[in-house]
Structure 1
Amino acid sequence: MFGFLSWLPSGSERLPLHGNRVNSIPKKGNVLMCYWTQDERAIVDALLERRPDLSNCLEYIHKFHIALTECFDKKHCFFTCGNGGSHADALHIVGELCKSFERKRPLEDTFRASLAGLPFGADLAEYLEAGLPAITLGLNGALKTAIENDCPLPNIAFAQELNALMGPGDMLLAISTSGNARNCLMAMSVAKARGGIVATLTGPTGGQMAGFADIAIKAPGNSTKVIQEAHVAIWHTLCLLIEARYFPDLR
């Protein structure tokens, strides 16, 4: 679907990600045997230095990293959704993926060549950055209000939008501190029915969403604001890990 991802690197230096690897990360005793690169290990160490309370999330951060890498490797799309502060997080995640976060993201040579001779082509070739295909649900006000006006079933807007956009192999991250957001659960059902991978980022109980997800990251915290603070640390780390996987050079 996303031909512009032809620049994604491949080769023996990349972590092999095959089959059900996302659900079969090996352990030795109670220690997770993570297959991080040196750069990825440094990112994880920095997270744990700042937030040692997130060590119990590491296994699921790793599973998420594997799944999203497979999604992008196979030229699929990543979707996010949430409500209120979680919607803001969903937007922020997509912002970090679609342009440079902390690393240089040069365009592939073939695309730069394709811009030559087109209006503003030289400027675009100089200033555009490679991006990863990511979309936040719920931004189309015309669609959302039409659904709310026309459909008797409440909370269906995320699900309807995802039904129009998602294909097999795509991935959804649904964010909710309670883990019980009805519109997120509906979107998760659509994602599974469409053959996608479903991940959640919730509070410590996980709610219904964690029980239904392929990958569930449960952040610690005894209040919404504390859980959301943990969410920011987790998804910033996830974005750093994904960027390090595809783009080797820091800015």
Structure 2
Amino acid sequence: MDVLEYLARSEEVLAASRNYAGVRNCEPAIETIAAALAVDLPLLVCGNGGSASDAMHITGELVGRFLKERRALNCICLSSNPSVLTAWSNDYSYETVFSRQTEAYAKRGGVILGISTSGNSGNVVEAFKVARAHGMTTIGLTGEGGGKMAEWSDILIDVPSRSTPFIQQVHICLYHYICEMVEAKLAA
């Protein structure tokens, strides 16, 4: 495969996403996130590996700024504190590393955004369970079908692919769109 073929395959997944029902769930996700952040309720974001990097990216855009000058938003990345991640994982379990932090930061009416290309990240599912118990809305950003996260997602944004790199490429487009629209609503 050469670079042109790779780009063509990427374009195919992006094109398939345009007509895919799961991607349309960005709209209710934007409304939910903006409503919570407007009253300073938290947006918690988590994921593993590349999705952890995406969680940090989203948090950076919303705490800092995406395109507009505005106040900082209450957005916390659950995969960015190495002391918490390593201490809790070492002493207890990696399976509960996000749910423990969710317990610490949860507020009724807040939102948690979990990112997993397979939708089967156990620690994200556990965080969703704790978030729901605390009255938070759960938003899953996954690959096709949502995996185990589908059951625990109040809003599921799934991409029509099972290929991790292609899912991640579409995830970047979708969360940039979400950040832009949330920021537009809150900066208005």
* TM range, smaller chain: 0.7 to 0.9
- Note if 1:203 corresponds to 2:143: yes
2:56, 2:79 within 8 Å by CA — same for their partners in 1?
Answer: no
TM-score (norm 2): 0.86
Q: Which has the larger radius of gyration?
A: 1
Q: Which residue of 2 aligns with 1:74?
A: 39
Q: Deviations over 1:175-199 (max 9, x none)?
A: 0000000010111111011111100
Deviation at 1:103, TM superposition (A): 1.6
Amino acid across the alignment from 1:69: A
2:40, 2:73 within 8 Å by CA — same for their partners in 1?
Answer: no
2:119, 2:142 within 8 Å by CA — same for their partners in 1?
Answer: yes
Deviation at 1:144, TM superposition (A): 2.2
Alignment of 1:163-242 (within 5 A): 163-242=103-182
- Note if 1:132 corresponds to 2:97: no
C-alpha distance in 2 between matches for 1:225 and 1:198? 24
C-alpha distance in 2 between matches for 1:64 and 1:219? 15
Q: Which residue of 1 aligns with 2:5?
A: none
Q: Which residue of 1 aligns with 2:29?
A: 64
Deviation at 1:148, TM superposition (A): 2.3
Q: Which residue of 2 aligns with 1:87?
A: 52
Percent pairwise identity: 34
2:56, 2:80 within 8 Å by CA — same for their partners in 1?
Answer: no
Deviation at 1:59, TM superposition (A): 2.9
Structure 1 or 2: more helix by fraction: 2
2:48, 2:79 within 8 Å by CA — same for their partners in 1?
Answer: no
C-alpha distance in 2 between matches for 1:180 and 1:194? 22
Bigger RCO of structures 1 and 2 (CA < 8 A, at least 6 apart):
2
Amino acid across the alignment from 1:161: Q
TM-score (norm 1): 0.65
Q: Which residue of 2 aligns with 1:143?
A: 84
CA RMSD between the two structures: 1.7
C-alpha distance in 1 between matches for 2:185 and 2:94? 39
Q: Deviations over 1:183-220 (max 9, x none)?
A: 10111111011111100000012101022210000112
Q: Deviations over 1:131-168 (max 9, x none)?
A: 111000022222222222322x4411111111111111
Specify the SS of the correspondent of 1:234.
helix
Q: Deviations over 1:45-96 (max 9, x none)?
A: xxxxxx4432324530111011112211232010100001100100000111
C-alpha distance in 1 between matches for 2:94 and 2:64? 34
Which ranges of structure 2 fall in alignment gaps of 5 or more residues? 1-13
- Residues matched between the structures, number: 174
